Amino acid sequence: MALVMASDPTSEPAIRIENLTKRYAPPPGATGAEAEGKLALGGVSFDVPEGSIFGLLGPNGAGKSTLINILAGLVNKTSGTAEIWGFDIDQQRRNASRAIGIVPQEIVFDPFFTPFEVLENQGGFYGVPKALRRSEELLEAVRLADKRDAYARTLSGGMKRRLLVAKAMVHSPPILVLDEPTAGVDVELRRQLWELVSELNRDGVTVVLTTHYLEEAEELCDRIAIINHGALIANKPTQELIEMARDKVVRIELEADMAELPKEEAFHRCELLSPRTLEVTYDRDAMSAGQVLAMVQAHGHTIVDVTTREADLEDVFVQLTGTGA
C-alpha cells in the first residue's frame, strides 16, 4: 500500500512523554479541594516505540482523552514534556503536528462533501501541494474508491470511520493515533478496521490505539499502557501484561444439583451458574486445577465435566484498575 512518506526512521521513540501533567482550572467560586482544579494527568511518562501498535487503555475519566488532546494540540499541558517524532510539542509545534494524524471518536467532516473533497480539503489545510496529494490512493487504501463522489452523509458508519483514517493520513504522518476507532461499529466492520490498522502498521506507520474493547487491544497491540486516575499503572508488552493475571477459572459440571456453594478460603470467587454448573476462580500460582477439583469432590459432589480458561487482558485490566472496560 505504501501510504507513508515519512522522514528516515531513527532509533528514537515515535512519541516520548515525560512527567506530563494537566490540571484543569477550578470552576468559579470553588472552595476546598475543588479550588485546586481537577488533576487529569499526574506526571505520566512513557515512550511509544517506533513501528509499534501501542495500546492506551483506562476506564472512563482516566486521562486518556486529555493525553491524546495534548498531543493533538487541542489542550495545553500544565507541565512536563512531550515529543512527537523528535519534535517538542511546544517548541516545534508545526513539525510535531505534521508528524501525527489523529482519528477522533466523533465523525468530523462536512456531510455534503464527497470523500474525495474531504481529503482534498484536508490536504490543503496541511499545505500539501495539489500535485503531491494522494486522495485517490488513500480512498483506494481504505476501500472507498467506489464512493469517491458520494456525499459523506450517505456513507455507512464503518465507511465514515475508514474515511476518518484516510483524512488523518493526507499529510503522510509517520504516527497515527486512533481514539476509540471502533466505538459503535458492528463486529464485521470492527474486523475490517483492524485489518486496515494492521496494514498501515506493516507499511511503517506507528499506531497509538485507545479502545474500550480489550479483545481489540489484545489482538492488535504489541505493547500496552494503562492509565487510571491520571496515573500510569502499567506499561508492558501485551503478553507480559496478560501473564500478570494470577487468577485462573475452572468451570465444573456436576452430576447432581448443588444446594449450596462449597466454602473454601482458597477460592477467590465461587459462583453457581446453574444448579449443576459451578465456576471457581483461584490463584494459579497457589494451587492447581486438580486441587480445586479435589476440594469440590470433598464436599460430596460428583464431577462429570471440566473446562478451564486462561487469564486474558480483561482479567489484568480488572486486577489493576478495579473496574471493567
Please tell me whether residues 265 and 231 are part of one structural domain.
no
How is the beta sheet containing 277-283 ordered, strand by strand? 267-274, 277-283, 247-254, 303-309
pLDDT tens digits in sequence order for the chain, 325 residues long: 444 444 444 468 999 999 999 999 888 887 877 778 889 999 999 999 999 999 999 888 889 989 999 999 999 999 999 999 999 999 999 999 999 999 988 887 788 899 999 999 999 999 999 999 999 999 998 899 999 999 988 998 888 888 999 999 999 999 999 998 877 677 787 888 888 889 999 999 999 999 877 888 888 999 999 998 899 999 999 988 887 777 788 999 999 999 888 888 888 888 899 999 999 988 887 888 899 999 999 999 999 999 988 767 777 787 777 764 4
Please tell me whether residues 183 and 284 are part of one structural domain.
no
Please tell me whether residues 88 and 184 are part of one structural domain.
yes
Answer for the pair 37, 28: CB distance below 8 angstroms, yes or no. no
Please tell me whether residues 306 and 215 are part of one structural domain.
no
Residue 196 lies in a domain: yes
Which of 224, 242, 260 terminates a domain? The answer is 242
**Phi (first) and psi of residue 137, to 5 degrees:** -65, -40
Residue 67: which H helix or E strand, with range? helix 64-72
Look up the domain containing 277 and give its range: 245-321
Residue whose grid cell is 478495579: 322
Interatomic CA distance for residues 195 and 205, integer angstroms: 14
Q: What pTM was computed for the model? A: 0.77
Answer for the pair 311, 247: CB distance below 8 angstroms, yes or no. yes
Interatomic CA distance for residues 308 and 249, integer angstroms: 6
